[in-house]
Amino acid sequence: MPVDRERRVAVLTHLGRREAVETAVGIIERLAAAGIAAVVPEADASILNERLTASSVVGASAEGYADDIRDVELMLVLGGDGSILRGAERVITSDTPLLGVNLGHVGFLAEAEAAEIDSIVDHVVHRTYTVEERFTIDVTLRDRNEIIWSSFAVNEVSIEKAARERMLEIAVEVDDRPLSRWACDGMLVATPTGSTAYAFSAGGPVLWPELDALLLVPLSAHALFARPLVLGPTSVITVELIHASPSHGVVWCDGSRSVDLREGMEIEIGRGEHRLRLARLSESPFTNRLVNKFQLPVEGWRGSAERERRRRLADGSGSDGP
């Protein structure tokens, strides 16, 4: 009879926050009691092991971490959206789902709150979670047709000026056809996931996360036509830096990976090769998350009972009496 392999879960923690460390310790101890080992970055292992009393964690070196992650069934990330995006960097090339536990502020990418430790562990132990796949972006930077840098983004790719007092001049193509030329502070290409992040602050629309689409948002462009655009998932956006002063701009992916952009270079942005897999603990619709995270006013909403009353009135099958 074959022997079951030890179950392993990766845990990524914001060690600079006391709450994160305490939450991680609680989760790791409970997982260990259920026979599930925790894998953490090597630099985190000694700090966490000092706090653990009934178990220990497996430290993975920076060089071997990617391989170790492929052997785990889930990655738990404890922190805000920034920590969850860092976790996404580690799992994006594998099929490992990511479960975010919010210790930040808005936490759009998080599925649970720190106070829900017992519920989180119960879902992990019994594998009672679903997995939702999210559209991502791939970006390639070329200089004289030579690829000099490439990366990916879960939220957005931003093209920004390097000097506050200057502007960028960029030419934009969509599917090899010219779209416009802007003097601007920069430009964003966001995913539906990222539509509630930087792109939202820049005036872009909110896209539901199950969509596959690209959101293009010019930043403070000096032009009559500089509205956000929603493009199809197979579109390819090409941006050429026509002019920049003092001599360059910057390309950022999710605000964490960057490269300098100089005149004449081209950035190609399109559908990502890999999809981010997010673990979900409930079937709550995105509308609920949007209302809760942004604290949208919904007072006075009477819900399904009011809709049913109006339907009956329209059909003549009910009265509007008491």
Among the ranges given (7-16, 132-141, 211-220, 310-319), the one the predictor scored with the smallest mean pLDDT: 310-319
pLDDT, tens digit (0-9, with 9 covering 90-100), for 65-118: 566 666 899 999 998 889 999 999 989 988 899 999 988 676 788 888 888 889
Query: Which CATH number fits the domain that encloses residue 179?
Result: 2.60.200.30
And the tokens for 248? 């360059």
Q: Please check whether residues 149 and 100 belong to one and the same domain.
A: no
Q: Please check whether residues 189 and 67 belong to one and the same domain.
A: no
Catalytic residues: 81
Residue 211 backbone class (left: φ over 0; alpha: ψ -120 to 50; beta: rest): beta
pLDDT the model gives residue 2: 42
Q: Please check whether residues 24 and 148 belong to one and the same domain.
A: no
200 lies in a domain? yes
Q: How far apart are CA 240 and CA 251, in angstroms?
A: 12
pLDDT the model gives residue 294: 87
For residue 246, whether the previous peptide bond is cis, meaning omega lies within 30 degrees of 0, is yes
Residue 321: which pLDDT band, with cuts at 50, 70 and 90? very low
Boundary residue ending a domain (99, 134, 169): 134
List CB contacts of 120: < 8 A, sequence separation 6 or more: 27, 76, 99, 101, 112, 281
Q: Please check whether residues 181 and 259 belong to one and the same domain.
A: yes
Q: Please check whether residues 144 and 97 belong to one and the same domain.
A: no
Interval 240-263 mean pLDDT? 88
Boundary residue ending a domain (75, 99, 134): 134
Q: Please check whether residues 141 and 130 belong to one and the same domain.
A: no
Range of the domain at 209: 137-271
Q: Which is more confident, 49 or 245?
A: 49
Query: Which CATH number fits the domain that encloses residue 56?
Result: 3.40.50.10330
Among the ranges given (14-18, 103-107, 222-226), the one the predictor scored with the smallest mean pLDDT: 103-107
Count, residues in the chain: 322
Is pLDDT at 133 greater than 50 in this prediction? yes
Share of residues in the chain with pLDDT > 90 (%) = 59
pLDDT the model gives residue 201: 95
Strand partners, 253: 157, 257
pLDDT the model gives residue 245: 61
Q: How many domains does the chain have?
A: 2
